[in-house]
Structures are given as C-alpha cells and as structure tokens.
Homo-oligomer: A and B are copies of this chain.
Amino acid sequence: MSNSNHHVPAIVIGRLPLYLRALTQLSSEGRHVTSSQELSEKLGFSSAQIRKDLSYFGEFGKQGTGYEIEFLEKSLREILQVHHVWDMALVGAGDLGHALANYDGFEARGFRIVAIFDADPTKIGLKMGDWQVQPITDMRETLREKKIQVAIIAVPATAAQQVADELVEGGVRAILNYAPTTLSVPQKVKVYHIDPVAGLQSMTYYL
C-alpha cells in the first residue's frame, strides 16, 4: 500500500539519498539483491530503521528474500525526484566554484550545472566546466529563461544573503549553500547548508 499521503519526517528524507547511494554502489558491483541487514552494515543505521524508513513509501521487498536492488533504486529515484536531471545554477567562480563546475559526480545522481555567475568582472567569460562565467547582473533573466529551480551558492559569506535573495527572485526553490552563514529565505525555499569547519569542530569535541 502506498502511503504517499502521510507526512514523512524530514530526517527520513535525509537518509534516502544515502540508501540510494549504497544501492547504486552495490549495483555497480554486479549485485542484484540485498537486505536491510546488509544495508545496515554498509551504512551504519539499524536494519529496523531502514525497513521503517522505506515503509513510509510502500512495500519494496520480498519476505524471506530481501530487496531487488534495481527496483528499489528506481523507486528511490522517483521518490526523491532524481529520475530526471535537474538543471542548476552555480554562483561563485572562485576555487570552490571551479571545483564544483568540474565535478563529474552530479549528473549520474540527478543534477547538472547549466549556468555560472560571478560578480567579479575579471571572471566573466572564463570557461569553467562546459560553460562561460556570466555576470551576476544577468542572473535573474537567465534563471527565468532556463527555468532553473536549483542553485549552488559558492560566494563569500558577506555576499551570500544578497545572492540568495536574487536566486529566490529568479524562481529558485532549492539552494545548496557553501557560504558559512545562515540564509534567511521564504518558507517555500529549501536550503541545505554545507559547513566543513562545523563538521570538523563537532569532531574535535571528542578528541
């Protein structure tokens, strides 16, 4: 039975990409069937948690057997809406922006960069990845033209809020934020924040 009308806790949604990643890895090793037990060992979550998480969305396994990998993978891709590829804007053409523009791990997992913006005039026109850096003044128009709903912020913290505001005005609804500052955006817009130093700091507590 499909429970797609229930409310699914955000913490569950956050784990689905990890399940998907593990399944893709198993798949690439030529495997066809797995179990909540095996995924548990690979990922470090309990098998009960994995089964319960999946049960929010339906019944994907066979009792006594486990999960058919390809089917579960496909199902998770659809749930997460990454069965098609999302076009993204990248804002910030510094070292980090450069690394992101050249990163080849996006497309297989449902994303690709289709426009790059920077405020620095010396960066405009530079080739990065498959695209030329555009002036940030073009951003709103390009976002609308290309119907871009997902963006990456890779600018200094001081510029991040302003960039976020402009992205939202351009119709963006999901922002991957690399700037070490909290963004304030309308409720309808999702932000996922990446702060490697915060991660390091929460580990050194234990050392």
User: Contacting chain B: which of A63-71, A75-83, A117-125, A133-141?
Assistant: A75-83
Interface residue range, chain A: 35 or more
Given contacts A17-B195, A95-B102, contact A86 B204 (CB under 8 A): yes
B109–A203 contact, CB under 8 A? no
A202–B99 contact, CB under 8 A? no
A174–B203 contact, CB under 8 A? yes
Question: What's the number of copies of this chain in the assembled complex?
Answer: 2
Which has the most chain B C-beta neighbours within 10 Å: A94, A174, A190, A204?
A204
User: Contacting chain B: which of A30-38, A46-54, A162-170, A175-183?
Assistant: A175-183
Question: Which single member of B44, B150, B182 contacts A200 (CB below 8 Å)?
Answer: B150
Chain A interface (Cβ < 8 Å from any Cβ of B) = 10, 13-14, 16-18, 20-22, 25, 42-44, 79-82, 86, 88, 94-96, 98-100, 102-103, 105-106, 109-111, 149-150, 152, 157, 173-174, 176, 180-182, 190, 192, 194-207
| Docked complex Cα distance between A94 and B44 (Å) | 29
Given contacts A44-B182, A109-B197, A111-B197, contact A14 B202 (CB under 8 A): yes
**B residues near A88, Cβ cutoff 8 Å:** 200
